[in-house]
Chain A
């Protein structure tokens, strides 16, 4: 039995804790948070115990899962690596390139496994699209477009009520807005598909004074000459969250849209004569992307194999997100160094 401890008891920690609790051979030891109340609530919800310090948690576990906000990744991640504990770090690896570099340096120096939880690589439709691309079915890479757009992640969702994280997102200096929080998924995914990114140009609302609303459109140029487009939004109407993939090559195109007809549709007539309709797209529990990424972490650590996402990949995604923010500020294309 392997014991895992979660540092940071905010929103994503609940998602991770649920998956750890489902995983055979893994036990959730508990939570540490600088706000003890938050850790207490997480324990009531997900089990385990409240740790009163990070070191107490480190002493009790085999793995560490860092779910703090990106501004607070560096401390716990570096400490966990130095304690020799294989570590999961929620995305982004950190909010600044400098923090990311310190984390990557610590991972290299200690040789302790560090997995950056870029979960989009574990979504079955995103993974399958890359597999089709790699098979050569659409020829050489040309144009890749992805979309990740919804409404602002505020406390209208019941369990988020009262979490400090909801105001964190709206403070763009902290969260980096959609470019760092949301588009980082697509930056990482596109880089995974098409290779290194040479330069980026961004337009968006980050500095338009419309917080918490944000919206960004990015164009990127890859080292191999291919180009990419990313839309990320916290301005879509509520309930209209959408993701899209479009990958075009010399010999074809791959398309997927989250808003196509779902495999299961339920339409029920209510007592008052109105219609209640809902759709779902179920997959097997082991293919849930959050479960799959954490199971991948455990499997690779046990087998001493490299992760699908390296610390360097985590660093590059932040570097490119930061370059996009710089592009927005300066109104110029920014070359990635």
Chain B
């Protein structure tokens, strides 16, 4: 069996480092090269991994690739997917799929036309505590589901993440899509209506973009819930953030804290106490699933359409906040 050849397109999003780490541990996978429009960043990582660096996307796409992983700035997902479609079997695109629904649709359409498999990077579907919750829900143990209370807190990431042109939005766009994707997956349902209170510079004065968000939604299956997307974890906090889900049903409550498996490490060098996670990373399952999709020539387990629906909820949340009214979906 020949190696699956993967090209990495941009390290603008730090998740690329984790994907690369797990890919490099997998048998039967070869990293064919790295493209990055930032020469210093791309060149440095390529040198560390002893793989070729490409200054142009085209140069890397010429390397007989089976798949690419795109971790550029959000707004550049679309041009990179459009350029890669038809030249590889599979594309793994970092979330959110794009910054506009038009871009997202163009990506989906081009991939369909060129018979390219488009997978969106939603690693939380591969986190064991979340899988455990999904299995519990599938047994029906909770009876009728009433409500779900969720948070996806984070640290303020800075850099291009706070530039509207490249990111498409702040905390609400960054942290709506993971949890919404999980809820759609749990119950094979859609968000029917969303209301949102979005905060600009509530936590980071002068930031120039939204840094707090409270979404209140109703799903098509009747379940209602909320999601906190805020970048509310300061430097001094022991970890980057969280993904927490409390699902309430007629028989009881299931609480998941997906990043709870931690060592507590107090380091004089860091000047603080940190939580060091020892759990199984969802990123490992995600890239393994992507490689398996290419190898088995099957449909992606998380599709472009999944990415598009999650993006739509984030965009509707911004719209709701502008109007101070609930917004019905699809928009």
Interface of A toward B, CB cutoff 8 Å: 124-125, 127-129, 132, 137-139, 245, 251-256, 260-269, 280-284, 286-287
CB-CB nearest in chain B for A257: B264
Known A266-B141, A287-B280; contact A281-B266, beta-carbon cutoff 8 A: no
Of B129, B257, B258, B267, most A-chain CB atoms within 10 Å? B267
CA–CA, A313 to B259, complex, Å? 34
Contacts A124-B278, A255-B265 supplied; 20 other A-B pairs, CB < 8 Å: A137-B267, A137-B269, A137-B270, A252-B266, A252-B268, A252-B269, A254-B265, A256-B278, A261-B257, A263-B260, A263-B279, A264-B132, A264-B255, A268-B142, A282-B131, A282-B132, A284-B280, A284-B285, A286-B280, A287-B280
Residue contacts A-B, CB under 8 angstroms, 27 given: A128-B276, A128-B278, A132-B263, A245-B263, A251-B267, A251-B269, A253-B265, A254-B266, A255-B264, A260-B260, A263-B129, A263-B259, A263-B260, A263-B261, A264-B129, A264-B132, A265-B255, A266-B252, A267-B252, A267-B253, A268-B251, A269-B251, A281-B129, A281-B260, A281-B261, A282-B132, A283-B280
- Do A264 and B269 touch across chains, with their CB atoms under 8 A apart? no
Q: B18: CB under 8 A from chain A?
A: no
Which chain B residues in 301-328 approach chain A with CB under 8 Å?
none
Q: B128: CB under 8 A from chain A?
A: yes
Q: B57: CB under 8 A from chain A?
A: no
- Do A268 and B268 touch across chains, with their CB atoms under 8 A apart? no
Q: B254: CB under 8 A from chain A?
A: yes
Distance (whole angstroms) from the CB of A292 to the closest CB of chain B: 11
Known A256-B264, A263-B257, A265-B254; contact A284-B128, beta-carbon cutoff 8 A: yes
Residues of B within 8 A of A252 (CB): 265-269
CA–CA, A60 to B141, complex, Å? 46
Residues of A within 8 A of B132 (CB): 264, 280, 282
CB-CB nearest in chain B for A137: B267
- Do A255 and B263 touch across chains, with their CB atoms under 8 A apart? yes
Residues of B within 8 A of A125 (CB): 261, 263, 278
CA–CA, A132 to B269, complex, Å? 13
CB-CB nearest in chain B for A133: B265
Q: B190: CB under 8 A from chain A?
A: no
- Do B255 and A268 touch across chains, with their CB atoms under 8 A apart? no
- Do A132 and B252 touch across chains, with their CB atoms under 8 A apart? no
Residues of B within 8 A of A129 (CB): 263, 278
Interface string of B57-99 (1 = CB under 8 A from A): 0000000000000000000000000000000000000000000
Interface string of B97-117 (1 = CB under 8 A from A): 000000000000000000000
Q: Which of B133, B259, B263, B269 sits near A128, CB closer than 8 Å?
A: B263
Q: Which of B133, B142, B259, B280 sits near A124, CB closer than 8 Å?
A: B280
Distance (whole angstroms) from the CB of B231 to the closest CB of chain A: 23
Q: B256: CB under 8 A from chain A?
A: yes
Distance (whole angstroms) from the CB of A240 to the closest CB of chain B: 20
Interface string of B110-137 (1 = CB under 8 A from A): 0000000000000000001101110010
